[in-house]
Amino acid sequence: MRVLVTGARGFVGRNLCESLKAIRDGKDRRERYQGLLPLTVWECDVDTPRGDLERWCAGADFVFNLAGVNRPEDPADFMAGNFGFASELLGMLERGGNRCSVMLASSAQASLEGRYAGSAYGESKLAGEGLFFEYSERTGAPVLVYRFPNLYGKWCRPRYNSAVATFCDAIANGRPYTVSDPSVELELLHIDDLVEEMLSALLGEEHRCGYDGLEPVPDPAGRYCYCPVTDRATLGEIVSLLESFKMSRDDLSVPDLTEGSLSKKLWSTFESYYGAGSLAYPLRANRDERGSFTEFLRTPERGQVSVNVSKPGVTKGNHWHHTKWERFLVVSGEALVRLRRVGLDESGEPYPVDEYRVSGDNPIVVEMAPGMTHSITNLSATDDLVTVMWANEPFDPEDPDTFHEEV
């Protein structure tokens, strides 16, 4: 399949083109997309020679028209950049006798409803929609018109046309920002969800709809297309989440990463805005003569991850917990892990010791069950022992649930 993408260096275009090229180059091997191979991707932007664009329009099997003007100095340029280029593109397709499917990136502002009433940008997008529909009626070529809500994700330019991008950049890099009205609610569409929808459109599986004002109404025979995966949040809620992501470097917290959640998608977006030299941060290592213990991650629902270093010959632990339980994974060195149930058996004797000899060369997880005192000993006389430790609950110094007892 031969795919033409206009606006290829823009936010949406770049994300789409990278996904298409991953399929083309065999890096994305998902069975769903193998029917697109062999795949040719033509990337068109403002400096593309018109001769190349004319040739690509004659040979394309599918066209994604993502080119457009968002913030010109002169509002009149909205119409020239959005309506004018769309007219030129469709003219090239028609001259080339090409009746392939053409997708148009429009905007929710084209509804001219509510706060979008009188929008010069919305009016230019609405004019572009009309141009596409008229072209389809005249030529019989399928058109897919998408009205995008507020888009966000990696590679979106801050201080341009995305509040999310602006806040991500400011909070990640310590720049000043203001929230004029925290109660304003946005409909948000993550770039990965949008790209997935566009790839579905390439396969002939687009989602169609009509519109009731700003709201898409699913309709298999609808005139418009839409991405069914969006979220709604206020500016205040968005900023609060972003601030918590920044704070996670200090408190080691991990927010909600439920698949498909706004929190997960927003955190992935936020991470992409750290500037060069800002992608590393220190942790506090608790050190003594035995080695060190460093907390890495904390979650309220999924416990705590830490890294334990034991000096040669050192034994750590010799304690037990009521409700806390742990998993030890030695990643470097050799260790002896010993466990014993607390108390006495029916004969009044101590319970037997359960022992596990483990090493980083053969990863084995050993579980420290509640009610069992346990220890870990570095068996090396020369090398440190490194162990990744997971506990089902973060350590609370006010309620440590840790009681000394020799194994």
Is 266 inside a domain boundary?
no
Domain range enclosing 39: 1-148
Q: Is residue 181 part of a domain?
A: no
The domain boundary, picked from 148, 180, 206, lies at: 148
Q: Quick check: is 116 catalytic?
A: yes
In a domain, 239, yes or no: no
pLDDT for position 72: 46
Mention every residue, 6+ apart, whose C-beta is less than 8 A from residue 320: 342, 370, 371, 372, 373, 374, 402, 403, 405
pTM over 0.85: yes
Read off the pLDDT band of 82 (50, 70, 90).
low
Which of these ranges, 54-58, 69-73, 121-125, 341-345, has the smallest mean pLDDT?
69-73
Query: What one-character DSSP code corresponds to residue 115?
Result: G
CATH code at position 32: 3.40.50.720
- Residue 210, in any domain of the structure: no
Q: Are 82 and 90 in contact (CB under 8 A)?
A: no
Annotated catalytic residue, options 33, 116, 135, 273: 116
Last residue within a domain, chosen from 98, 117, 148: 148
- Can you say whether the dihedral through the CA atoms of 207, 210, 214, 216 is positive or negative? negative
Give, in order, the Cα–Cα distances in Å from 327 to each of 92, 304, 315, 365. Answer: 64, 11, 17, 6
Find out whether 114 and 151 touch, Cβ atoms under 8 Å.
no
The whole-number average pLDDT for the span 136-162 is: 95
Q: What is the pLDDT of residue 83?
A: 67
Range name among 76-80, 323-327, 330-334 with the lowest pLDDT average: 76-80
What the block records as the tokens of 132 is 């596409």
Q: What's the CA gap between 248 and 252, in Å, rounded?
A: 5
CA distances from 391 to 55, 169, 229, 252, 305 (A): 61, 34, 35, 14, 7
**Residue-wise DSSP of 349-393:** PBPPEEEEEEETTB--EEEE-TTEEEEEEE--SSS-EEEEEEESS
Q: Can you count the helices (H) and strands (E) in the chain?
A: 9, 22
The sign of the torsion formed by the CA atoms of 257, 263, 265, 266 equals negative
Q: What is the pLDDT of residues 333-356, one digit of tens each?
A: 999 999 999 999 999 999 999 999
Q: Determine which of 102-116, 280-294, 377-391 has the lowest per-residue pLDDT on average.
A: 102-116
SS3 108: helix
200 assigned to some structural domain: no
Mean pLDDT of the chain: 94
Tell me the one-letter amino acid at 184.
Answer: V
Place of tokens 């394309």: 60
Residue 183 · residue 239 · CB < 8 Å: no
- The total domain count for the chain is 2
The answer to whether residue 47 is domain-embedded is yes
CATH code: domain of residue 355: 2.60.120.10
CA distance to 15, 33, 44, 98, 241, per residue, from 21 (Å)? 10, 12, 14, 23, 33
Residue 383 lies in a domain: yes
Residue 387 maps to a domain: yes
Contact 101, 203 (CB under 8 A): no
